[in-house]
Amino acid sequence: WLVAHDGDAVPDQAARRFDDLCRRRADGEPVAYLTGCKEFFGLTLQVDARVLDPRADTETLVEWALELIDGPMRVADLGTGSGAIALALQSQRPATQVIAVDASAAALEVARANATRLGLPVTFRQGSWLDGDATRYDLIVSNPPYVAATDPHLAALRHEPPQALASGPDGLADIREIIRQAPGCLEPGGWLLLEHGHDQAQAVRSLLAARGFAQVASRKDLAGIERCSGGQWPERG
């Protein structure tokens, strides 16, 4: 259409809209916020500044989780944001009961809207990680905040919700809390999988092992970076 109409004048309203989008992008705003959508694991999600811009790196976590889901299991996605992980798992494993948790009511509005539009029966709950949760899960997954509060790269991410990015002086505060809480909500033999920073795999593996998790391991993303780490809560006896 553009080639066939290359001599047409751009309408004033469209030109102003285009200029505004260019200014926002030049200021570092993610393209997903400008278009209002982002593709993740084959799903088109609606996103805005209430949630993180879903990254392709996180698909590594989804792929690992899908390997572990066998039958009608109960799965928790902590810090769901746009619902990307929970919805991807539900779409690929329809017999699974997926519960998505987030502390932000605004983020849950986005996630619920995505679930409704995609017709995926994810259950949503507002809360801080596993606080007050008496459910027993077969699998817990999370892409929590993992950037150090003093990391200079945060300036480039200023358009995204800061509470979903930074986590204490070393970036591991929320990961520590999830690892501390998870055994109380895991079935024996259940797994905990966590996304983390490019240089945090060894630290996260150490935290999992110290808490008593077995089969502790990490998975690399397509760039060859250890992007996720996890472990299995031991069977009784």
State pLDDT tens for residues 140-165. Answer: 999 999 998 888 888 888 888 888 88
The rounded mean pLDDT for the chain is: 95
Least confident of 6-10, 16-20, 156-160: 156-160
Residue 53, pLDDT above cutoff 80: yes
Q: What pLDDT was estimated at residue 36?
A: 95
Of 64, 74, 98, nearest to 187 by C-alpha is: 74
Give the amino acid at 169: P
Could you report the per-residue pLDDT of 73-125, keeping only the tens digit for each? Answer: 999 999 999 999 999 999 999 999 999 999 999 999 999 999 999 999 999 99
Q: What pLDDT was estimated at residue 150?
A: 86
Dihedral of CA atoms 55, 59, 64, 69 in degrees, nearest 10, equals 110
Q: What pLDDT was estimated at residue 157?
A: 87
Output the CA–CA distances (angstroms, integers) from residue 28 to 32, 156, 208, in the order listed: 11, 7, 36
